[in-house]
């Protein structure tokens, strides 16, 4: 059985070949200027590489904030890509991904803000349906969102000086979270 990457690479190469064929047809119809543009597009697409990695982290439960910047940087380094973007996505509907200055004040301020914005002890229809007491967790995670895209150059994340990539745990219990890193670039 062929691995997913080789199948994707073959499909990708077939798309590039089709674009090159289209380029030659357009060259004959419109002259060379459109063909040059398609040629540049084909070269850019052909150089683009996609790498998917996963990392796992264990949370302590509600309001836990985990800095995943180093793991994300390591994955980019291992990909050997020099420039591009990384999309960081958490699988699950009660956790979120964002950036923050990862320091004690904000580590305390952020959950307090969420408690004011989405209170824990009010009625949530989710809790009536599932009786799991984490309706507020779902709402909070939805507000922040499950993913973030960050550019990188020379293999280094282009984050601000005090900016870190973090997982916010919103669920009411400890969890092991799988975070998907989709790295694309050249």
Residue-wise pLDDT tens digits, 42-94: 666 666 789 999 999 999 999 999 999 999 999 999 999 999 999 999 999 99
Mean pLDDT of the chain: 88
> In Å, what is the CA distance from 144 to each residue of 39, 50, 68, 90, 156?
40, 26, 16, 12, 25
Determine the straight-line distance between the first and last CA of the chain, rounded to whole angstroms: 27
pLDDT of residue 49: 87
pLDDT of residue 48: 77
Q: Please give the sequence-ordered ranges of beta strands (E in DSSP) within 60-160, or none if there are none.
A: 65-67, 84-90, 95-100, 147-153, 156-157
Gap between the Cα atoms of 128 and 26, Å rounded: 61
* pLDDT band for position 6 (cuts 50, 70, 90): low
3 has pLDDT over 50: no
Of the candidates 41, 51, 37, the one whose C-alpha atom is nearest the C-alpha of residue 9 is: 51
- pTM, whole model, 2 decimals? 0.78
């Amino acid at each position: 059985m062929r691995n997913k990457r080789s199948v994707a690479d073959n499909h990708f190469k077939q798309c590039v070949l089709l674009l090159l064929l289209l380029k030659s047809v357009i060259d004959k119809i419109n002259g060379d200027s459109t063909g040059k543009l398609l040629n540049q597009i084909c070269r850019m697409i052909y150089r683009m590489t996609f790498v998917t990695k996963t990392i796992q982290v264990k949370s302590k439960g509600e309001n836990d904030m985990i800095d995943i910047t180093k793991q994300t940087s390591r994955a980019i380094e291992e990909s050997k890509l020099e420039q591009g973007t990384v999309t960081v996505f958490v699988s699950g509907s009660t956790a979120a991904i964002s950036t923050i200055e990862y320091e004690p004040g904000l580590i305390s301020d952020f959950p307090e803000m969420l408690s004011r914005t989405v209170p824990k002890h009010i009625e949530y229809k989710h809790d009536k349906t599932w009786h799991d007491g984490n309706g507020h967790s779902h709402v909070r995670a939805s507000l922040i969102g499950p993913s973030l895209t960050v550019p990188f150059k020379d293999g280094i994340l282009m984050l601000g000086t005090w900016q870190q990539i973090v997982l916010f745990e919103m669920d009411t219990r400890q969890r092991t979270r799988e975070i998907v890193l989709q790295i694309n670039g050249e």
